[in-house]
C-alpha cells in the first residue's frame, strides 16, 4: 500500500479521535496554533448607563471590571462577606458554616491552606493567564503527573492491596504493548496493514525504543527497563550499577485496573505545564476584589429578579440586618449558579426560566489534612503530584511548594465526585475526617500518627452554590445550553455554566468577557 498523504491522515485522526485530537495533532505538526484569548475592547462609552452584576465570583468581577473600564455605572451584589465564589482558599483561623449548621474552624498553621474549589490552571487557559499577567499574580508549577506518586488498589477478602509507583505500570504497560505489537508486525499479520517494508523496520525500531525492548524484542527485567521504571536499588558510585526491578505482568496491570489512572496526564486539561497561584487559589479573586471593592454590596442574598423593556430589577435581603432592598439598572449580568438561581422568584422569560431549572450541579467533596511532618517527602520521596486510589477518597494531592521544609504540610487528602461525594457530604465533619484519615492510612501508614487537624467541604452543602459545577447531558447541551448562553432582553447569564470549560475558572472568565461584549453591543444600539 502506498503512503497516505497528510490530508488523509488528518481526516482519519478526526474520525477516530474527534476535533480535539485533530487540533492537537495539527498543532504538533505546526498546522494549527492556539490563539491567546483577547480581553474585551469595548468601543463607545457606557457613561450614563447602569449595569447590575449578580455574584462577585470570577465571572461577576471580570464583568464588573471590564464594564467599569468602559464607563458604565456598575453595582455588584454578593451573598458572602467576601468575593471570589468558588475561587476560594481556606487558611488557619477561617470559619466555614455549611447547610445544616455544621461549623468548622480551620486550624492550619500560618502559610498553609486548602483550595476547596479550583486548584489548577492549565497553560492554555489564556483568559486566566492574561488577567494574572495584568494583575501581577505570581504562579508556581503544579505537578499534575509525578511518576513517583502512587497508584493504590484496596485488597478484597482479607487480601493485601496493591500500591505501586505510577511510573511502574506506566512503563510496563508501554513495554508489554510494544512487545505484543512488535510480534504482530514481525509475523506480518493484518495489524501492520498500510505499513510499507521500509516503514516496517522503522516501526520495529520505534517499538524497541518506546517499549524498552531487548534485542530479542522482549520486555524483560534488566537495567534497561529499570532505567525507565526504577530500580530495586538505585545505581551508586564506583562498582554499584544498580539492582534491576521486576516488571509487573500485563495480567497484574489488567486485573488491578492500574491502567485506568495512567492517561489522566495525557488529557488536554492536564498536560504540562499546569500552574497554581502562590499562596492560594484566591489570589485572582483578591486581585479583582481590590480593584472593585467600592462597587460590591456584600451579604446580599438575591431573592427576586425581573426585567421589562426599560430595565432590570433585583430584590435582595441584606443579611447584615438592613432588611429587604430593591435595586434597578439598565442591564444585568447574572452569575448566580443555576442551582441557586432556579430557586429565586424569576420574571425573565419563560424559555430562560425553564432552561435554568434543567441543569443540576455535580456533587463533589474535598478534605484537607495538616500533618505534623512532610512524611510523603521525607519517607516516600514524593514531591508534589497526585496519588490515585480506588478507595472512596479517590485522589490525594501533595503540596507543590515549601519542598524540603521541616515544618508541617497540608495534603489534599480526598477529592471525589458522584455517589461517594454525596455520602461523605452527608456525614458530620468529624466523621468525615475520621474516615478520610483511615483511608489515607491505607496508602501512607504514617498518616494516623502524623495527623494534626483537617477541614472538609461537601459542595452540595455550600450555601452559595449547592454543588460543584453545572452538570450537562447531551440533551441539555443541545436544548437548554443555547438558551442559557443567549442574551434575553437586558439580561445575560455568565459563569462556568455558560462555557464548554464548565468547572474551570477559565470558563467563568470567558463567559464573562463574551457576555460583556454582547451586552455592550446591545447597549450601544439601545
Cell numbers standing for residue 35 = 490563539
- The reply, when asked if residue 118 is annotated as ligand binding, is yes
Q: Where does 451-504 have alpha helices with state H?
A: 474-485
Query: CB of 179 within 8 A of CB of 211?
Result: yes
Q: How far apart are CA 254 and CA 247, in angstroms?
A: 14
- In 3D space, the residue among 230, 233, 243, 234 whose CA is nearest the CA of residue 172 turns out to be 230
Asked whether residue 120 is marked as a ligand-binding residue, the answer is yes
CA angle (499, 467, 20) in 5-degree steps: 30
Three cell numbers, residue 254: 489488567
In angstroms, rounded to a whole number, what is the distance separating the alpha carbons of residues 251 and 249?
5
Distance CA 386, CA 401 (A): 14
CA Rg, the chain, in Å?
Answer: 26
Instruction: Give the C-alpha separation, 11 to 156, whole Å.
Output: 46
For residue 457, what is its C-alpha cell?
467541604
Q: Is 119 annotated as contributing to ligand binding?
A: yes
Find the largest Cα–Cα distance for the chain.
Answer: 85
Q: How far apart are CA 291 and CA 135, in angstroms?
A: 10
The Cβ-side half-sphere exposure at 409, using a 13 Å CA radius, reads 23
Within 122-166, residue ranges assigned H as helices are 126-135
| Residue 143 assigned ligand-binding role | no
Q: In what order do the strands lie in the sheet with 364-371?
A: 162-165, 150-153, 385-389, 395-398, 409-417, 364-371, 451-458
Q: Residues marked as binding?
A: 117-120, 302, 496
Q: Binding site for FAD: what residues are annotated?
A: 117-120, 302, 496
Q: Give binding residues for substrate as ranges.
A: 120
Amino acid at each position: 500500500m502506498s503512503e497516505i498523504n497528510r490530508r488523509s491522515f488528518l481526516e482519519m485522526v478526526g474520525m477516530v479521535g474527534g476535533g480535539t485530537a485533530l487540533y492537537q495533532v495539527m498543532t504538533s505538526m505546526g498546522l494549527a496554533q492556539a490563539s491567546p484569548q483577547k480581553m474585551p475592547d469595548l468601543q463607545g462609552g457606557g457613561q450614563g448607563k447602569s449595569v447590575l452584576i449578580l455574584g462577585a465570583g470570577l465571572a461577576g468581577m471580570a464583568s464588573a471590571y471590564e464594564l467599569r473600564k468602559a464607563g458604565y455605572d456598575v453595582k455588584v451584589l454578593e451573598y458572602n462577606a467576601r468575593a471570589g465564589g468558588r475561587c476560594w482558599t481556606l487558611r488557619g483561623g477561617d470559619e466555614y458554616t455549611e447547610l445544616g449548621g455544621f461549623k468548622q474552624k480551620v486550624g492550619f498553621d500560618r502559610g498553609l491552606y486548602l483550595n476547596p474549589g479550583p486548584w489548577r490552571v492549565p497553560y492554555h487557559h489564556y483568559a486566566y493567564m492574561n488577567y494574572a499577567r495584568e494583575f501581577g499574580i505570581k504562579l508556581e508549577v503544579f505537578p499534575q503527573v509525578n511518576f513517583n506518586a502512587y497508584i493504590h488498589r484496596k485488597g478484597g477478602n482479607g487480601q493485601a492491596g496493591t500500591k505501586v509507583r505510577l511510573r511502574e505500570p506506566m512503563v510496563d504497560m508501554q513495554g508489554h504493548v510494544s512487545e505484543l505489537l512488535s510480534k504482530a508486525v514481525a509475523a506480518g499479520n493484518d495489524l501492520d496493514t498500510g505499513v510499507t517494508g521500509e516503514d516496517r523496520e522503522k516501526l520495529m525500531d520505534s517499538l524497541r525504543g518506546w517499549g524498552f525492548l531487548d534485542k530479542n524484542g522482549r520486555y524483560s527485567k534488566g537495567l534497561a527497563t529499570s532505567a525507565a521504571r526504577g530500580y530495586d536499588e538505585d545505581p551508586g558510585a564506583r562498582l554499584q550499577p544498580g539492582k534491576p526491578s521486576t516488571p509487573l505482568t500485563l495480567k497484574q496491570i489488567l486485573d488491578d485496573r492500574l491502567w485506568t489512572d495512567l492517561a489522566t496526564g495525557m488529557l488536554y486539561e492536564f498536560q504540562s505545564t499546569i500552574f497554581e497561584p502562590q499562596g492560594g487559589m484566591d489570589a485572582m479573586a483578591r486581585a479583582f476584589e481590590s480593584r472593585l471593592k467600592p462597587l460590591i454590596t456584600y451579604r446580599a442574598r438575591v431573592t427576586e429578579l425581573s426585567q421589562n423593556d426599560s430595565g432590570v430589577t433585583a430584590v435582595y435581603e441584606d443579611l447584615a440586618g438592613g432588611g429587604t432592598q430593591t435595586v434597578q439598572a439598565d442591564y444585568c449580568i447574572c452569575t448566580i449558579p443555576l442551582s441557586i438561581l432556579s430557586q429565586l422568584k424569576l420574571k425573565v422569560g419563560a424559555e430562560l426560566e425553564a432552561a435554568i431549572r434543567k441543569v443540576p450541579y455535580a456533587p463533589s467533596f474535598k478534605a484537607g489534612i495538616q500533618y505534623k511532618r512532610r512524611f510523603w517527602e521525607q519517607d516516600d520521596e514524593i514531591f508534589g503530584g497526585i496519588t490515585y486510589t480506588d478507595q472512596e477518597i479517590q485522589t490525594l494531592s501533595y503540596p507543590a511548594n515549601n519542598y524540603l521544609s521541616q515544618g508541617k504540610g497540608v495534603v489534599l487528602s480526598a477529592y471525589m465526585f458522584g455517589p461517594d461525594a454525596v455520602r461523605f457530604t452527608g456525614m458530620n465533619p468529624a466523621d468525615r475526617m475520621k474516615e478520610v484519615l483511615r483511608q489515607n492510612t491505607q496508602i501512607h501508614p504514617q498518616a494516623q500518627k502524623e495527623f494534626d487537624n483537617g477541614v472538609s467541604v461537601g459542595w452540595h452543602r455550600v450555601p452559595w452554590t449547592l454543588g460543584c459545577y453545572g452538570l450537562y447531558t447531551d440533551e441539555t447541551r443541545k436544548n437548554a445550553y443555547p438558551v442559557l448562553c443567549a442574551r434575553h432582553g437586558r439580561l445575560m447569564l455568565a459563569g462556568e455554566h455558560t462555557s464548554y470549560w464548565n468547572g474551570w475558572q477559565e470558563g467563568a472568565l470567558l463567559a464573562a468577557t463574551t457576555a460583556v461584549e454582547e451586552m455592550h453591543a446591545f447597549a450601544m444600539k439601545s
